[in-house]
Amino acid sequence: MQKLRILFYVYTLLVSLVAASSAWGASAIGEQKLKIVASNYPLAYFAERLAGPRATVTLPAPASVDPAYWQPDAKAVGAMQKADLILLNGADYEKWLAHVALPRLKLIDTSATFRDRYIRIENAVVHSHGPAGQHSHEGIAFTTWIDFDQAAQQAAAVANALIAKRPELKALTLDALQMLQQDLAELDEEIRRITAAKPSLPLMASHPVYQYLARRYSLNLKSVHWEPGEMPPAQEWAELDKTLAGHPAKVMLWESEPDTQVVEKLKAKGIASKVFDPCANRPDTGDFLTVMQQNIKNLKLVFHP
Ligand SMILES: [Zn+2]
């Protein structure tokens, strides 16, 4: 009898311990954190905002490379195979996808909801620049997230994938999504307001990555294919002069701070250099939101000098 009573006591103690631990949420015993791999920083940022401490989010592309031109090594593929979710940008961003065996059910194409709105690049030219070597921008434009309405749809796709994995966290995830989409809507609204002042203002871009920004905010934008750290050859400058003859831009947008010699040479032509960083990889300081806010400040100087 005494033995039974002790057993019963142990049982009730265990039951109350389990109840207490599940009340602590994701840190509860037995509840594993979701393992999420993101193919670029915007998606990693969205996942971090939406899942908070309930997931570990990794961005396997090294900080020094553009994730669009990254190839996963065996270690990165292994991490993806072990992940619960693999967040893809879609729009042909993951050129490596066809060469890697991954469980289809884990793959989340975050831009699938607007695939009928992808921009196709015609007559792209292959350029050789930087240590990454040659690349072209043929096919589909992939910097989808700098149209902040599209970014909001990509964030929703991440939230849906999280909810499918952890239905018990639906309310928390949807609350986080609402806050994230509010932040993205503010960026969207601010760019609309700034650019609406001069809708036909001719602009140059240093690299063909601003197609969705230009469409969403009706920018009159033409592009060369230059890299921030390199002096373009004479032929490129001649091409620019030809473009400027019919498109008198006073500003060139750059993905990052360009080389001072290039800045000076552009300045001599009456063209100022302004950074609009797509933020495809994790920034040295700040986060997706602060980088975009700085981009908007820079854009404001273009439209309201
Ligand atoms: Zn390029």
Whether 197-303 and 31-185 are alike in CATH topology: the answer is: yes
Q: How remote is the CA of residue 66 from the centroid of ligand 1, in Å? A: 10
pLDDT digits (tens, 9 = 90+) for 96-111: 999 999 999 999 999 9
Banded pLDDT at 6 (limits 50, 70, 90): low
Banded pLDDT at 2 (limits 50, 70, 90): low
Please, are residues 177 and 286 in contact by the beta-carbon 8 Å criterion?
no
Q: How remote is the CA of residue 50 from the centroid of ligand 1, in Å? A: 31
Q: How remote is the CA of residue 103 from the centroid of ligand 1, in Å? A: 30
Can you give the C-alpha Rg of the chain in angstroms?
A: 24
210 vs 13, higher pLDDT: 210
Q: Read off the pTM.
A: 0.88
CATH topology of domain 31-185: Rossmann fold (3.40.50)
Q: What is the bridge-based pairing of β-strands 120-121 and 139-140?
A: antiparallel
- Amino acid 127: pLDDT: 64
Exposure on the CB side of residue 13, measured as CA atoms within 13 A? 6
Q: How remote is the CA of residue 79 from the centroid of ligand 1, in Å? A: 28
Is a pLDDT exceeding 90 seen at residue 29? no
Q: How remote is the CA of residue 264 from the centroid of ligand 1, in Å? A: 22
Distant-in-sequence contacts of 56-63, Cβ < 8 A, 24+ apart: 58/83, 59/281, 59/282, 61/281, 63/281, 63/282
Domain ranges of the chain: 31-185, 197-303
Q: How remote is the CA of residue 138 from the centroid of ligand 1, in Å? A: 10
Q: How remote is the CA of residue 205 from the centroid of ligand 1, in Å? A: 11
| CATH H superfamily, domain 197-303 | Nitrogenase molybdenum iron protein domain (3.40.50.1980)
CA distance linking residue 296 with residue 235, whole number of Å: 32
